[in-house]
Every structure is written in structure tokens, then in C-alpha cells.
Structure 1
Amino acid sequence: MMLSELSRFGLDPFLKMRHMQDDMNRLLSGLGTATAQAFPPINLWLGENSVVVTAELPGLSCDDVDVTVREDTLTLQGKREPKVEGENAAWHRRERAYGSFSRSVQLPFRVDPDQVQARFADGRLEIELQRPEADRPKKIQIKAA
């Protein structure tokens, strides 16, 4: 079977190779640096006139997080306190980081700070940010000459 025939049937002979390359890139990206992964992890969805950002904040409440927006930059700040254990407790493994955090994300366009909605439930923060009306693309009508 030729390559074009495989693709036509939805079979990608290079898919496994791309997965291996992604795995190697992830593995090698952590070498030589002692920095922690950015916290909190976020996802960003782009709409026509808005953007939605979600952040995973396990163990925190909405009172533990500050959200600020300026022009095209969203900043999440807060502090994660460690869970207090008994005097005789000895950690075998402790992977969850504690302390202050700050994460700034540049958005794809300026946002209207008066049109921001933030919701927090079950350790998940969702922020919807609207593009100002003046910055939205406008369709220009073409007149016949």
C-alpha cells in the first residue's frame, strides 16, 4: 500500500514516530534545569471575541487565589499552605509544592477588565475574558464603483 492510500484510510505511518519524538522532547526538556513546572497548570481556549482560561488549583479555595488582568496579561497569585501532619509523621514522598505562587500569561489580545468573569469549583478556576468592543474586528462593506 502506498503512503497516500494509508493516509486516505486514516492510517498515519509516522504517528508512532511523532509520539516517540514528543516523549523524547519532554524527557530532555527537564535535563540541566532545576526549575519546577509552572504552577498552576493552565489551559487556554480562544473564541472569536473572548478567551477562556482554566487553572487546576487542588486543595485551594477561591479565597486563596488573586486574579488580575492588565491589557493583555492575566496574572494568578496565591499561596498554598502545607497540610499539617502529626508530630510523629515522617514523609516517604512529598511531591506537591507549597508556598507562594505567581503565574502570568500573555493573552492573544487586550481584554476589557470590566467584562471578566471568574468561577471556582472543585479546585478548578475558570476565567472568561472578553475583548473590548473597540478592539473587535469590524467587517468593512465594499461598495461597487
Structure 2
Amino acid sequence: MTLMRYQPWSVFDQLHREINQLFDTRAPKTGETANELYSSSWLPSVDVKDNGKEIVLLADLPGVEPDKIEVTATNGVLTLKGERQFSKESNEGDYHRIERNYGSFYRQFALPDTANTDEISAKANNGVLEIRIPKRSSSIQKRISISR
């Protein structure tokens, strides 16, 4: 038998996330229509890290085929857009609870001026989309030694 940690506040954490998503006051950027932005059914979780040489985004997109994901970079804004389809695999029984999100998603991220948008690469592996945005070589910080 597996032991599970009791988390009495997890329901409130979920409610807090859903309320934040409901009152998200993002404005459309780079000419995108408000319809695309506000018609998103869900938002994938994304980790963003900067290792000095590049910026790496890791987006959780389980169940989304890579060819159904659109990644674009325009005017300093990286856009992720796609859709996860709901498919009922068997006709036996009825769903009593559905917690996974389905439908379209749309996320935008402002890129720093140091981003080299010509060299962006993306790959999907095990439901995680990894986007690598290299920095321009002239913008990489170099340590300068001080002589005596």
C-alpha cells in the first residue's frame, strides 16, 4: 500500500488557480485578436529558466500531439498555441469526474532583447515541450579579471 501525504488545503489551492485564471486581465499582443486570447480553455504550466547562454521553456502538454502545437516568435513575443482534444475511449460506464483540461490553449511570453529569435528550437518528449532560445553572443556576460 502506498502512503500518500494528506494535503487539506489542496482544494483551496486549485480554487485559487481557477479564480486567477478567470480574472486574468491579459491584453492581446502583437496583433493577436482578443478572441484567441480569451477563448483559451486552459493554460499549460510552463517553467522558464536562464542558464546564461540560453533561455529554456518547459511546457507541460501531455496528450497534445506535437503537430497540433504552434510556436511562433514575432516582435519579441513568443507564442504557444494549440489544442488538446477530449476523446472518450470506451463506451462502458460514465465519467463521474473530469479533472484534466481539454480544449484550446494560448500563452505568450515577452522575450528579452538579448534573445536570438533566428535560432529558436523546439522539441517534444513525453508530454513536455522544450523550447530553447539562445542569446546573442554579444549579449552573453563575460567575467573580466582585474589586474594589480
Question: What range describes the TM-score normalised by the shorter chain of this pair?
Answer: 0.5 to 0.7
Question: For structure 1, which runs of at least 5 residues remain unmatched after alignment?
Answer: 1-22
Flag as ranges the 4+ runs of structure 1 deviating above 6 A: 138-142
* TM-score scaled by length of structure 2: 0.63
Greater radius of gyration (CA): 1
Conservation of the 8 A alpha-carbon contact between 2:124 and 2:130: yes
Which one-letter code corresponds to 1:35 in the other structure?
A: Q
Q: What amino acid does structure 2 have at the position aligned with 1:73?
A: V
The corresponding residue for 1:99 is 103
> Alignment length, in residue pairs?
121
Matched residues in 2 for 1:56 and 1:140: separation? 39
**Equivalent of 2:19 in 27, 33, 48:** 33
| 1:81-136 alpha-carbon deviations (Å, 9 max, x no partner) | 10134456421001112111101122444422211111111111101001234544
Which whole-Å CA distance do the structure 2 matches of 1:28 and 1:63 have between them?
A: 30
The Cα RMSD (Å) is 3.5
Match of 1:127 in 2: 131
Q: Work out whether residues 115 and 135 of structure 2, in 8 Å CA contact, stay in contact via their aligned partners in 1.
A: yes
- Tell me how far apart the structure 2 counterparts of residues 52 and 132 of structure 1 sit (CA, whole Å): 14
Alignment of 1:79-118 (within 5 A): 79-86=83-90, 89-118=93-122
Query: Which amino acid letter does the alignment assign opposite residue 115 of structure 1?
Result: E
Match of 2:59 among 51, 55, 60: 55
Query: Contact 1:38–1:103 (CA<8 Å) still a contact in 2?
Result: no
